[in-house]
Structure 1
Amino acid sequence: MLKEVAGTGYAFITPTPVTHQRYLDQRSRDQDQDVSLRDIFGWNSPFASHQLAPSLLALLQQAGAVLAGNPARSGVRIASLDGDLLLHSSFPTGASSSVFFGPDTYRFARFIRHALTEHVLSPNTASGSAPHSTVRILDVGCGSGAGGIAAARMMQGAGRECSLTLSDINPTALRYAAINADVAGIPVRLALGDTFAAVDGQFDLIISNPPYLYDDNRRTYRHGGDGLGRALSVRIAREALTRLAPGGQLLLYTGVAIIAGADPFLDEMTAALSSTGWPWSYTEIDPDVFGEELSRPIYQHADRIAAVGLIVCRSEGPP
């Protein structure tokens, strides 16, 4: 189904849930509008069976991805990212097994592209893997697989061979990620498990965009644990340090609740990295994301939630 949609020239940039709901509310007040593929698979609007090509409807039904109703809705959405199309969950994403895609995904992909250009693929940068060796990539908590696919695309564009492992605790995420990678033409290995539990060995590039909010319902795709959602990011970063091959890179994109002007995630990472002697950098990518979360009581002492990027380069010697 995804391949057939790709053949139509479909493209859709997935917005925030707030923007998405605002669009649906506005559309519900408009009558007699045509329904396009962008409406069905992007905005996840209801559709009648005659409004979708029979071949696409059949494929959607075969996949069990039609949500019951009159009219019906697609059980998946499709987002575009740099020429690739990626499946993710229908709107709204209320289930714990939901597969996220949104503005954070686009920021994550830009962070990966910039970091690889500056720190891995630059002719002036020494990397642990020789220019003609296979770069071992691991995407931890891969979700839709967007980050891993973006990294592999960068390697392909630079003429570098790579092997990509996609890891997630959510079986639905791995299913979607496998489909997305297949349609993108990128071979992958799938690993079902929590963080690094299902993978062995070391990697030349570890990337991750873990959930970083505190979710009262503990939904997997959204809940980052204690510390107002930063605990999972801290754990992934610390575990990644033991899995980097000599010369390897960690690219971690996450969010942190800033409290009284201080960044507690940066404080924890500074302490964890101080004994390694490895070069690292830290950037505030967006100073204010998910502002609507700040109205929740648990965030009452937070100034804002910032999107941040951590880059760690393992030295060639022993850790």
Structure 2
Amino acid sequence: MTPTAASFAHHDALAALGRSLQAARYRFVTVTPATHRRVNGRPENAWAHDLRGVFGWSRPFRAGVLPDALDGPLRAAGLAAPVDADGNDIADGQAPAGWRSLVRASTIGEHLYFHSAWPTRDADAVFFGPDTYRYTAALKRVLGAHGSLHRPVRRAIDIGAGAGPGAIELALRCRDATVYATDIKPAALALADVNANVNDAHNVVPCRSDLLDGVDGGFDLVMSNPPYILDPDALTYRHGGGAHGAELSIRIVHAALDRLHPGGSLLLYTGVAIVDGADPFLDAIRGRLDGGTDCWSYEELDPDIFGGQLGCDGYERVERIAAVWLHAVRRG
């Protein structure tokens, strides 16, 4: 069960839980779903015995595992689901053998982010994983490189922000900027709002937007880590549409270059299906980049991700999926 936006209505209780986890020096790095499944499948990991088991590994937990300072806010936020002796969800009225958290908490350095509990099977799941770490690392590298951005960042937007890590990491480094964390999912926006609060990123503005349709005006910086998988179930946090999942990323490039101020930057992290040694995504956007930018750079951050996807329908000719980073500066 994935909580809806209504589940996060107790904003203050969830924010209090986040601050308590930070005070406890909680740390957790989120792994791939396949690794998560393998680690949780070990017999000794059937039930959680500590904070990382409850909030990181999404294991069921029994009474007494959580201290009152954490158990209270979790229940106040309505995010503790009862489970039976096998760790499965139970119906109302049945005596629980334990509970499980309906949110997961991951960390990037000192910063804590709530997102959907594992496994993320539902259409409205708010995803966070290894791609998030690559995305924020690439972002921080650009922000830390002298002269990488051609104009000061006063107004920025993260398209498909999910739980908000990209927007928040930017906002904490550009305190004078207004950073819009946009998404089409109410649950994502609710979590981005909580996470901004927990991390004291008060210049983040969560708002609903399909690409850039929900926010007016121009931007100094447009950034995104969109879905890029061709998903047969069209789950919004995975499905990029079009040939091999590239459609959404292509649309983002065009939308961003239409709305950036002159000298403004597009920072895009995405996955690309490589077919017979060729990069169809780059081929699709090269003309727009050459015609509408002063400069652009494009690099593979990881040559082989989501290898298991190659066995799925639609990937018969794909030899690998690469994680790529695009930095384009709109023509002045």
TM-score norm. by structure 2 comes to 0.87
Q: Could you tell me which runs of 5 or more consecutive residues in structure 2 were left unpaired when the two chains were aligned.
A: 1-16, 85-97
Q: Deviations over 1:75-122 (max 9, x none)?
A: 00000002100001011000111011111000001110112223xxx1
Deviation of 1:31 after TM superposition, in Å, equals: 7.8
| Mapping of residues 116-131 of structure 1, within 5 Å | 116-118=143-145, 122=146, 124=147, 127-129=150-152
Cα distance in structure 2, aligned partners of 1:164 and 1:57 = 32
Cα distance in structure 1, aligned partners of 2:307 and 2:277 = 16
Deviation of 1:259 after TM superposition, in Å, equals: 0.3
Q: Residue in 1 aligned with 2:162?
A: 143
Cα distance in structure 2, aligned partners of 1:249 and 1:182 = 27
Helix, strand or coil at the partner of 1:289:
coil
Q: Residue in 2 aligned with 1:175?
A: 190
Q: Deviations over 1:192-228 (max 9, x none)?
A: 1211111110111111000000111111111100111
State whether structure 2 residue 130 is matched by structure 1 residue 103: yes
Cα distance in structure 1, aligned partners of 2:258 and 2:82 = 47
Deviation of 1:34 after TM superposition, in Å, equals: 6.7
Q: Residue in 2 aligned with 1:230?
A: 246
Q: Residue in 2 aligned with 1:270?
A: 286
Deviation of 1:30 after TM superposition, in Å, equals: 2.2
Cα distance in structure 2, aligned partners of 1:127 and 1:293 = 37
Identity %: 41
Q: Residue in 2 aligned with 1:67?
A: 81
Given that 2:143 and 2:149 are in contact with CA atoms closer than 8 Å, whether structure 1 keeps it comes out as no
Helix, strand or coil at the partner of 1:51:
coil
| Mapping of residues 27-42 of structure 1, within 5 Å | 29-30=43-44, 35-42=49-56
Q: Which amino acid aligns with 2:182?
A: S
Helix, strand or coil at the partner of 1:303:
strand
Cα distance in structure 2, aligned partners of 1:111 and 1:254 = 12
Q: Residue in 1 aligned with 2:308?
A: 292
| Mapping of residues 176-255 of structure 1, within 5 Å | 176-187=191-202, 188-255=204-271
State whether structure 2 residue 19 is matched by structure 1 residue 16: no
C-alpha RMSD of matched pairs (Å): 1.6
Cα distance in structure 2, aligned partners of 1:222 and 1:169 = 13
Q: Deviations over 1:232-289 (max 9, x none)?
A: 0100111000111122111000001100000001101102222224211111110000
**Runs of 4+ off more than 3 Å:** 31-34
Given that 1:212 and 1:233 are in contact with CA atoms closer than 8 Å, whether structure 2 keeps it comes out as yes
Describe the shift of the 1:315–1:154 C-alpha distance in structure 2 as closer, same or farther (beyond 3 A).
same
TM-score norm. by structure 1 comes to 0.91
**More deviation in 10-19 or 180-189?**
180-189
Cα distance in structure 2, aligned partners of 1:2 and 1:80 = 11
Deviation of 1:55 after TM superposition, in Å, equals: 3.1
Given that 1:142 and 1:208 are in contact with CA atoms closer than 8 Å, whether structure 2 keeps it comes out as yes
Q: Residue in 1 aligned with 2:116?
A: 89
Cα distance in structure 2, aligned partners of 1:178 and 1:196 = 19
